[in-house]
Chains A and B, each alone.
Chain A
Amino acid sequence: MAAVTLGKDLVGLEHASAEQIQLILDTAEPFKEVSERAIKKVPALRGKTIVNLFFEASTRTRISFEFAEKRLSADTVNVAATGSSAEKGETLVDTARNLEAMRIDMVVIRHQSSGAAQFLGERIRSNVVNAGDGKHEHPTQALLDLLTLRDRFQRIAGLKVAICGDILHSRVARSNIWGLLKLGAEVGVCGPATLMPRGIEELGVTMLPHIEDAIGWADALNILRLQVERMEGGFIPSQREYNRVFGVSSERLAKAPKDLLIMHPGPMNRGVEIDSDVADGPHSVILPQVTNGVAVRMAVLYLLSGGSPEWTAPKTGEES
């Protein structure tokens, strides 16, 4: 087989090929097992230096990356940079140059501005992994969602996945749309029209105006967090009304023609976009998503550093 590589950076899935996405998912399979060992460590990135550069608050993603790095034996430094909004860009340029001067190998960046990861990647020689840039992309979140779907359905091609909620402001939605479409899934988007970006259907997704439409159509729901800070923009009148009109409840799910897989990238607003009994219910894979996050991030870091997928273990879970 022709050697598929990821290139220097992982900025997003829009410009990733299906083969590259498959490679990451396949490489993640053996890394899942590392986290189940008593000694959760492989020497794959021993001697590599990784900087986790977080300009925006993050708990889950930052910790997940950090575990991934440590389980690969990399040396890691966490930088929680909070710049004033006017200084953001300058800080980023200067930070990039300073990091480069310290001879690092990789940067994992989260930034409030769309395009920040690409911006950094174009300016430093180190590998750059996007851990979420503005409203643009969050590729490792989409990859762990894909891995979770593949675990449950043994395939992605042909699946119907509805992404529900605030599509407008969501980098998770964008990365999921690209990843799912490239692997042959059908993608629906569901949410209030005020939270739908212009022209989204041109990406090849199905518009599902009502949550009932999504529940009736999909094999899996990926329920996005309602970003409460967006309420100030007046996009929706209240969380209460959002729950009434767009909340995923067990009553609504009971009317579905089949059992739906329930996904959520977290953190959840219980009782807003998702009811507790759904989040904790038998079809929820919200915690397995988190588990897969570490494996997917190990795979990304490993591949970007130049590793080949055959190194750790024979491939499993080959996509059909």
Chain B
Amino acid sequence: MSGILIKGGRVIDPSRGGDGQADVLIQDGKIEAVGRNVPAPPGASVIDAAGKVVAPGLIDVHVHLREPGQEDLETVATGAMAAAAGGFTAVCAMPNTDPVTDNQAAVGFIVSQAQKAAKARVYPIGAVSLGQKGEHLAEFGELVGAGAVAVSDDGHPVASSHLMRTALEYAKTFGIPVADHCEEMSLAHGGAMHEGIVSTRLGLKGIPAAAEEIMVARDIILAELTGGHVHLCHMSTRGSVELIRRAKEKGLRVTAEATPHHFTLTHERCENFDTNAKMNPPLRESEDREAIRLGLKDGTLDVIASDHAPHHYDAKERAFADAPNGILGLETALGLAIRELVDGGYLTLPELVARMSTVPARVFNLPGGTLAVGAPADVVVIDPAVRWKVDPATFYSKSRNTPFGQDTLLGRADFTIVGGRIVYERGHSPGG
């Protein structure tokens, strides 16, 4: 491989506190040099990054790639390509596939599909319980041995406190987080959106903020009891942020994520029964959105994760209560984050890169998240100033379900490089 020199960009590397104009030389799949006036080796291709941001590739620790089982919605390959187009060099795939990713063969299948796709890296997340049924612990050791980087029953909460305790204790052996979808089902059952004035007006059953917060509190208490690492998925309420803030003050091993839709939208978006605004956890109130933004700023919320959830167009073409939860995230996450959080004054660009790359790598013990010399060359070149209109028809994802179909976003990936190989270049259709 003859190398890539990325010249003259603003190089942001939160792993080393770096932020300044520099060149980045990639050779043999690794970061070879970062510095001023790095000469281009013979045969190296040169990317002119003047006016662009050069950062460690983005990492999304929460996506649904639907394979195996629902390949008409997404596959590992299309999801990995959508990720690359969104600036992501690695994603963590949730195990609510069909069959459930609850054994080493299933984990191995996803690893192998990702290798074949050769776009963004795909790290499987194994199930906490067999079949995600919340009963018997899955074989964490074998899952990790096959390539799983975390365990989760995402899509379903771990309802049994005993199971959650056991999972947190057992996961310590393997050094992996237990990622929980926090939802107290007796409160949330049948709910279609946030319980509040909009659900009252629309006549839809609401999911109260308390349904999330009760389980957040429980998980924090169990993290304290076990010393295990609990990772709280897609936090949506101000109460959750407050609980996590206090847990971190106590030094507990609690990490948490926020989605672009929860820091961008509120429950008013469900007006007119727009099923593209239906997700779980639901869009909350403006006070919740503000708490999420401030939580990302002060680090209470560690990472931005998209909860990328593909659905077939006609699955969303239903009455609101009958439509499935979830929206696409990979191809809009960066543009929303820059628009809402950087342009909105909540985060600096280096802070954003930390929340979307360096910290996710640290939280899930993944390679990447750094431009340190010798690290795998997972790099994104971002145009932070471009305003572009979302056109779902051009998504690399197989699905089209997004509430941002008419939005103008700020900033997008120009190049995505995984292991020293350009897997996405804006304006060029992907090869192979």
Q: Which residues from chain A sit less than 8 Å from chain B, CB to CB?
A: 14, 85, 88-90, 92-93, 111, 113-116, 118-119, 133-137, 171, 174, 197-200, 202-203
Residue B272 at the A interface, CB < 8 A?
yes
- Inter-chain contact A113/B322, CB cutoff 8 Å: yes
Please measure, in the bound complex, the distance between the C-alpha atom of A198 and the C-alpha atom of B206, giving whole angstroms.
Answer: 9
Decide: A136 and B200 in contact? CB cutoff 8 A.
Answer: no
**A114:B204 contact, CB within 8 angstroms:** yes
Residues B197 and A115 in contact, CB atoms below 8 Å apart: no
Contacting pair A114 B318 (CB below 8 A):
no
Q: Which of B195, B205, B323 contacts A89 (CB 8 A)?
A: B323
Question: Are A174 and B201 in contact, CB atoms less than 8 angstroms apart?
Answer: yes
Q: In the complex where A115-B273, A119-B273 touch, is A200 in contact with B320 (Cβ < 8 A)?
A: no
> How far is B249's CA from A311's CA once the two chains are assembled, in angstroms?
74
Contact residue among A89, A90, A119, A203 (Cβ-Cβ distance under 8 Å from B201): A203
Q: Are A137 and B322 in contact (CB under 8 A)?
A: no
CB distance from B405 to the nearest CB of A (A): 16
B393 within 8 A of A: no
Cβ–Cβ contact A88 & B318, under 8 A: yes
Known pairs A90-B314, A118-B272; list 18 more (Cβ under 8 Å): A14-B201, A88-B318, A88-B322, A89-B317, A90-B318, A114-B202, A114-B204, A114-B320, A114-B321, A115-B202, A115-B273, A115-B319, A118-B273, A119-B318, A133-B319, A134-B319, A137-B203, A197-B200
Contacts of A136 in B (CB 8 A): 202-204
> Mask for B287-324, Cβ within 8 A of A = 1, else 0?
00000000000000000000000000010011111110
Q: Which residue of A92, A115, A119 has the most chain B CB atoms within 10 A of its CB atom?
A: A115
Contact status of A114 and B200, CB under 8 A, knowing A92-B319, A119-B319:
no
B350 at the interface (CB under 8 A from A): no
* Contact B203–A171 (Cβ < 8 Å): yes
Interface flag for B397 (CB, 8 Å): no
Interface size on B, residues (CB 8 A): 22
A134 and B204 form a contact (CB under 8 A): yes
Partner of B200, one of A118, A133, A137, A198: A198
A200 to B201, CA, bound (A): 8
Find out whether the CB atom of A198 lies under 8 angstroms from the CB atom of B197: yes
Chain B residues near A93 (CB, 8 Å)?
A: 314, 317-318
Nearest 10 Cβ contacts at the A-B interface: A89-B318, A115-B273, A135-B203, A136-B203, A113-B319, A199-B197, A197-B200, A89-B322, A114-B203, A116-B319
CA gap between A3 and B314 in the complex, in Å: 39
Instruction: Tell me which residues across on chain B come within 8 A of A171, comparing CB atoms.
Output: 203
A88-B322, A90-B318, A114-B320 as given contacts; A134 in contact with B203, CB under 8 Å: yes
**Can you list 28 residue pairs at the A/B interface with Cβ under 8 Å?**
A14-B201, A88-B322, A89-B319, A93-B314, A93-B317, A113-B320, A114-B204, A115-B204, A115-B319, A115-B320, A115-B321, A118-B273, A119-B273, A119-B318, A134-B319, A135-B204, A136-B204, A174-B203, A197-B206, A198-B197, A198-B199, A198-B208, A199-B196, A199-B197, A200-B200, A203-B197, A203-B200, A203-B201
> What's the Cα separation between A203 and B196 when bound, in Å?
12
Chain A residues near B195 (CB-CB < 8 A) = 198
**B321 close to A199 (CB less than 8 A):** no
CB closest residue in chain A, given B322: A89
**Which residues of the partner chain A approach B323 to less than 8 Å between Cβ atoms?**
89
Residue of A nearest to B190 (CB): A233
Question: Measured between alpha carbons, how far is A203 from B202 in the docked complex, in Å?
Answer: 12
Tell me which residues across on chain B come within 8 A of A199, comparing CB atoms: 196-197, 200
CA distance A92 to B317 in the complex (A): 9
B274's nearest neighbour on chain A, judged by CB, is A115
Min C-beta distance of B24 to chain A, whole Å: 49
Min CB–CB distance A205 → chain B (angstroms): 11
B47 to chain A, nearest CB (A): 46
Residues in B157-205 with C-beta less than 8 Å from chain A: 195-197, 199-205
Q: Say whether, besides A134-B204, A135-B204, A136-B203, A202 and B319 are in contact (CB < 8 Å).
A: no
Instruction: Tell me the smallest distance from the CB of A247 to a CB of chain B, in Å.
Output: 25
Greatest chain A CB density within 10 A among B272, B317, B320 is at: B320
Chain A residues near B208: list those with CB within 8 A: 198
List residues 258-300 of chain B with CB under 8 A from any CB of chain A. 272-273
